[in-house]
Amino acid sequence: MNRPSLAWKLYIAAFYVFLFAPLLIVAIFAFNASPFPSPPWRGFTLEWFTGSGAAFGKPGVLTDPVWLSSIGNSFKVAIPVALLAVLVGTVNAWVLERAEFRGKTFLAMMMLWPLVIPGVVLGISILAFFSRLANGLEDWLQTDLDFLRPGLSLVILGQLSFILTISTLIIAARLRKFDRSLEEAAFDLGASRTRVLRTVTLPFLRPSLIGAGLVALLMSFENFNTTLMLVGSDAPLPITMYGQMREGATPAINAVSLLLMLGVGGIASVFALTAKAER
Amino acid sequence: MMQKPAQRLTLFLLLAPAILWLGLLIVLPHVEILVLSFSERVAPRVYAFGFRNYLEFFTEPLYWRTFARTAFMSILVTALTLVLAFPIALYIARVAQGRVKAMLLLLCLLPFWVSELVRTLGWMMLLRETGVVSYILRAVGAADQPVELLYNDGAVILGLVYGGLLFMIVPLANALESLEPAVVEAGFDLGGSRWTVLRRIVIPHAMPGIVAGCIIVFMLTVGNFATPVLLGGKNGLWFTEQIYAQFITRFNWPQGAAFGMLLLLLSSAIVWLGLRLTGQSLGTTLKQA
C-alpha cells in the first residue's frame, strides 16, 4: 500500500485540477477586458475592479454602489455575529465544561442539534416565529418592531442559531485542555475570581476565542441558505451574487469573487496560525 | 446536595444565554412551523387545524416527485462523493508523508473556505453555452457549435459532489489515519490480494469515517439551494426551492412550513438510519468531522 501505482497518482493529480479549475477560471476572468464573463480572452484590464463604467458601460466593484452596499451589509451582519458568537460561546463552553447540574447531557445534545437542521428550515422557522412574535408584540405595544421583520437583524439571529454551536465547540475544546491547578494557584496567591479569569483563564482561551471569532466571521459572510429566507431589502453579498448570477452578470462578479477569495484566504491563514499556536 | 443561593444564581446566569439561544432560535421556531404546518385557511385571515398542507403534498405530483427526486439524487451524490473521495483520503492518510501530506490536506481545505456561490459561479463559467469548456471544444474542433452543458442533472450532480468532497475527505482521512500499517502488512502476508485487503481490512476500519462523511454530505446536499437552482436552472427541481417558493414567492406559509417539516424529517430519518445501521452516536460522528 506504500507504493502508489501510476494510475492512483494520476487520479490524485486530476482530482486537484478538478478542485481548483472553477476557482482559477473565476479569478482569471476577473481581468478579462470584455463585457461578459466568458471567453474569448480580450486582454488584461483592471476595469472590473476600479473602473467607473466608462469602458464597458458597467462599473467595477469598487465604484458600484450595489456591490459596495452589499459588502457593507455583509460586514454589518458578520461583525455582530462574530462578537456574539465568541461571547455566548465562551459562556456556553463554561457551562459545558465546568458547571454541574441535572440535564447537562441533554443540554449538550441540544447544542449540537442546529448542525443537523437544514439551513433553509432554520431560516423559515425563525422567520415564521419572529413574525408571530412581532405581530403579537406590535398589537400589544402599539409600535412598529421592524427589527423582528425580515432584515439584517433577523439575518444576524438566523446565522447565530447555528454559528453558536460551532463557536461553543471550538472554545469548549480549548477549555477542556486547561489545567485547573493554574487557577487554584492564583486563588491561593490571593487573586479574586475576576482577576483569575482576566489574568489566567481568558489568556489561555485566547487562541480559541480568536479562532471562533474568525470562523464565525467567515461562516456569516458565506452563509446563503438561512440568510436567503431572512433578508429584507438590504442584501448581504451572497444574496446579491445569487441575484446577479441568475440574471447574467458582468465580470464585476468575478472581481468580487476574487476579492472574497483573497479575504477568506487571509482570514483562513490567520486562523491556521492561531490553531498552530494552540498546540 | 444543597447548593448555596449564590451558586444557583451564578449557574442560572451562565445558563441563560444557552437557554435563550436554544429556546428562541431553535425550539420555539420549530414549534411554530410545526403548528403552522397543521393550519389551513378556512376564510380570509382565519386559520383552523387541519391536514390539508400534507394532503396537498401527496396529491400534487410536482411536490412529492420533487421530494423523491431530491432524496434519490442526494443519495446518489453521497455515494459518488464517497467513491471519488476514498482514494484521495487513502492517499493522504497512508501514502503521503510529512510536508506533502499537510500540503495535500490544506489544498483540499482551501476551496471550501470560499463561498459556495463563488464555486458555483466557477462551474457556470466552465459549463455554460458560452463557457470555457464549450469554447475549448470548438477551438480544438470537437464541436462545430456552442455546447450547453449547464441546466441538466449531470451539472447539478457535478456541483453537489464538488461541494461535498471536503466533508467526505476529512472524516475518511481521520479514520484511515489510525489504521496500523502492521495490520495491512499481515493481510498481505496471509495472501490477501489488494482488493481483499481493501475490502476486509481497510474499509471496515474506515467505517466510522465513512458513516460520518456520508451523513454530513447527505445533509448538506439535501438542504442545498444555490447549487441545484443555479446549475440546474428550470430542471434543477430541488425540494428546498419548493419551500422557498411557498414562503417567499407565494406567501403560503402553512404550505411552506409543511414542506419544511418534511425536509427536516427526511434529513433526520437518513441521519438516524445511518447511525442506527452502524451503531454510532451523533456526538462521536460529529467529532469525526
Residue range B67-119, pLDDT digits in tens: 999 999 999 999 999 999 999 998 888 888 878 888 888 888 888 888 889 99
Closest CA to A159 of A82, A274, A212: A82
Chain centroid to CA B68? 16
CA atoms within 13 A on the CB side of B9: 3
Residue appearing with cell numbers 461535498 = B164
Q: DSSP label at A145?
A: -
CB contact under 8 A, A245 and B120: yes
pTM of the full structure: 0.89
| pLDDT tens for each residue of A33-90 | 887 777 778 878 787 887 777 667 777 788 888 889 999 999 999 999 999 999 999 9
How does residue B1 score in pLDDT terms, banded at 50, 70 and 90? very low
pLDDT on residue A85: 96
Contact A158, A124 (CB under 8 A): no
Residue of B nearest to A169 (CA): B287
CB contact under 8 A, A36 and B130: yes
What is the bridge-based pairing of β-strands B39-43 and B46-49?
antiparallel
- pLDDT tens per residue, chain A (279 residues)? 456 788 888 999 999 999 999 999 999 888 888 877 777 788 787 878 877 776 677 777 888 888 899 999 999 999 999 999 999 999 999 999 888 888 888 998 899 889 889 999 999 999 999 999 998 888 888 887 778 888 899 999 999 999 999 999 999 999 988 888 888 888 888 888 888 888 888 889 988 899 899 989 989 988 999 999 999 888 999 999 999 888 877 888 889 999 998 988 888 777 777 666 554
Instruction: For the beta carbon of residue A149, count every other beta carbon within 10 angstroms.
Output: 16
**Candidate ranges A261-275, B22-36, B143-157; pick with highest mean pLDDT:** B22-36
Contact B137, A45 (CB under 8 A): no
CA B163 to chain A, closest CA, distance in angstroms equals 10
Average pLDDT of span B57-71: 91
Residue appearing with cell numbers 448570477 = A245
CB contact under 8 A, A12 and B108: no
Beta bridge partners of B46: B43
Residue of A nearest to B123 (CA): A22
